[in-house]
Amino acid sequence: MTRSLTILGATGSIGRSTADVVLAHRDEFRVEAVVGGRNALALAETAKRLGARFAALSDESTADALKEALAGTGIESGAGRSAVLEAVDRPSDIVMAAISGTAGLEPTYASLKPGRRIALANKESLVCAGAAFMADARRLGVSVMPVDSEHNALEHALAAGRNRDVGKAVITASGGPFRTWTREQIAKADAKQASAHPVWSMGSKINIDSATLMNKGLELIEAHHLFDLEAERLDVLVHPEAIVHGLVQWTDGAVTAGLALPDMKVPIANALQNSARLFMDLPRLDLAAIGRLTFEKADEARFPCLALAKAALQAGGAMPTILNAANEIAVEVYMADQIGFYAISEIVESVCSTMVGSGNAPATVAEALAIDGEARAMARRLVPAKRI
């Protein structure tokens, strides 16, 4: 049976990989809508390749450019917040939620419709408003399928037992570009060096988060909401080969792990599958050829952002929302060469310390965005006049 699909973040790395999976199974999917940021030509090309019925850009000023790029195709289009929400509201069975950053929070939340499946790649939906998001998903009968390779691996591993029998659920990190660097070397690293991820091809912001290991901290917060696991039962392990993406240590001593080659099309295909797995013509994992898998403890002294994220998860309430907002600003100014690498964690720590006791976890998107805005403003005030 053909299923309808909407892709939020269609021009990003996850969106492009999703298009590859859909094109490999054209008889199983019909694309209802595609949503992008501001690149009219890229979104128009994606819409035409996928045969989408509607295309929307979040930047309202791009409306004419998108309409012109789609002229003669019969594909409807729009731009701005209302157009994005229209795309979300159109009938579809599955929504690939892959808009990055807090910009994806509102449309991802609006995607929660009775009986739908959300293939979730937007971290902020869970980091900023995870309790409310998952509660509404359960209330509406929405199936939330994780797209991150780590959470997808945990989804598989956790199927081997009961939640109460989980001793520890562990996600892995490649270690980023600075895994073997000293703290002194890392302190001098510029954004270009920090963006050079050794394994994955991702956007610039998430590459920086991978270099600081904040990405892993955010993924722990996601795992807490996705799998209803307390902070004490979640951890990170550095695994440079990026073959084991997640593992579960059971209370009886057994371990179940999810393994795959590092290709996002694998978890995407898994999140989109119906009653049977989608065949993907990808290289197969050959452990004999790889020969050896290595693991290390995450060094929170060299990568303090991971410790800050763990503390935010432990604190709960509004703290994960605050952490995420402060980090987005700190990474933004680091990429603009306004601060040094370790100033990212310093700004995040300062904002979190100042806003301790900011209240309960957000119950709505509006509450999450209000807390986010306050934390961002505070983070911006902490950016020094001169580079540090």
Asked if pLDDT for residue 201 goes beyond 90, the answer is: no
- pLDDT tens profile 156-196: 999 999 999 999 999 999 999 999 999 999 999 999 999 98
What pLDDT shows up at residue 275? 82
Residues contacting residue 361 through CB under 8 Å, at least 6 positions apart: 129, 130, 131, 132, 316, 317, 318, 320, 321
Tell me: pLDDT of 203 over 80.
no
What pLDDT, on a 0 to 100 scale, did the predictor assign at position 199?
Answer: 73
Match 């994960």 to its residue by tokens: 320
The proportion of the chain whose per-residue pLDDT surpasses 70, expressed as a percent, equals: 98
Residue ranges of domains in the chain, CATH in brackets: 3-146 (3.40.50.720), 151-264+282-314 (no CATH), 316-388 (1.10.1740.10)
Give pLDDT tens digits for 331-362.
999 999 999 999 999 999 999 999 988 889 99
pLDDT confidence of residue 352:
97
Which class for 292: exposed (0-12), middle (13-18), buried (19 or more C-beta within 10 A)? exposed
What's the confidence (pLDDT) of residue 375?
Answer: 97
Look up residue 110 and give its two tokens.
């609006």
Q: What is the 3-state secondary structure (H, E, C) of 129-176?
A: CHHHHHHHHHHHCCEEEECCHHHHHHHHHHCCCCHHHEEEEEEEECCC
Tell me the C-alpha distance between 200 and 209, whole Å. Answer: 13
Kindly compute the dihedral angle of the four CA atoms of residues 269, 273, 276, 278, in this order, to the nearest 10 degrees: -30
Give the pLDDT confidence of 93-120 residue by residue, as tens digits: 999 999 988 889 999 999 999 999 999 9
Q: What is the pLDDT of residue 37?
A: 94
Q: Note the pLDDT of residue 377.
A: 97
Cα 110 to Cα 78, 143, 166, 283, distances in angstroms: 17, 14, 32, 36
Task: Tell whether the model's pLDDT for residue 82 goes beyond 80.
Answer: yes
pLDDT at 202: 65
- Nearest one of 143, 84, 153 to 119, comparing CA atoms: 143
In angstroms, the CA 191 to CA 202 distance is 14
Instruction: Report the distance separating Cα 39 and Cα 55, nearest Å.
Output: 12
> Strand 76-79 relative to strand 234-238: parallel, antiparallel, unpaired?
unpaired
Using a pLDDT cut of 90, give the percent of the chain over it.
92
Kindly list the distances between the CA atom of residue 334 and the CA atoms of 56, 164, 187, 214, 305, in Å, as whole numbers in the listed order.
Answer: 30, 42, 12, 14, 14
Reported as a pLDDT band with limits 50, 70 and 90, residue 386 is: low
pTM: 0.94
pLDDT tens-digit series, residues 265-291: 999 999 999 888 999 999 999 999 999
pLDDT recorded at residue 387: 63
| Model confidence band, residue 50 (pLDDT cutoffs 50, 70, 90) | very high
The three state secondary structure string of the chain is CCEEEEEECCCCHHHHHHHHHHHCCCCCEEEEEEEECCCHHHHHHHHHHHCCCEEEECCHHHHHHHHHHCCCCCCEEEECHHHHHHHHHCCCCEEEECCCCHHHHHHHHHCCCCCCEEEECCCHHHHCCHHHHHHHHHHHCCEEEECCHHHHHHHHHHCCCCHHHEEEEEEEECCCCCCCCCHHHHHCCCHHHHCCCCCCCCCHHHHHHHHHCHHHHHHHHHHHHHHCCCHHHEEEEECCCCCEEEEEEECCCCEEEEECCCCCHHHHHHHHCCCCCCCCCCCCCCHHHHCCCCCEECCCCCCHHHHHHHHHHHHCCCHHHHHHHHHHHHHHHHHCCCCCHHHHHHHHHHHHHHCCCCCCCCCCHHHHHHHHHHHHHHHHHCCCCCCC
Q: For position 388, what pLDDT does the model report?
A: 53
**What span, in angstroms and rounded, lies between the C-alpha atoms of 183 and 173?**
18
Condensed to tens digits (0 to 9), the pLDDT of residues 220-260 reads: 999 999 999 999 999 999 999 999 999 999 999 999 999 99
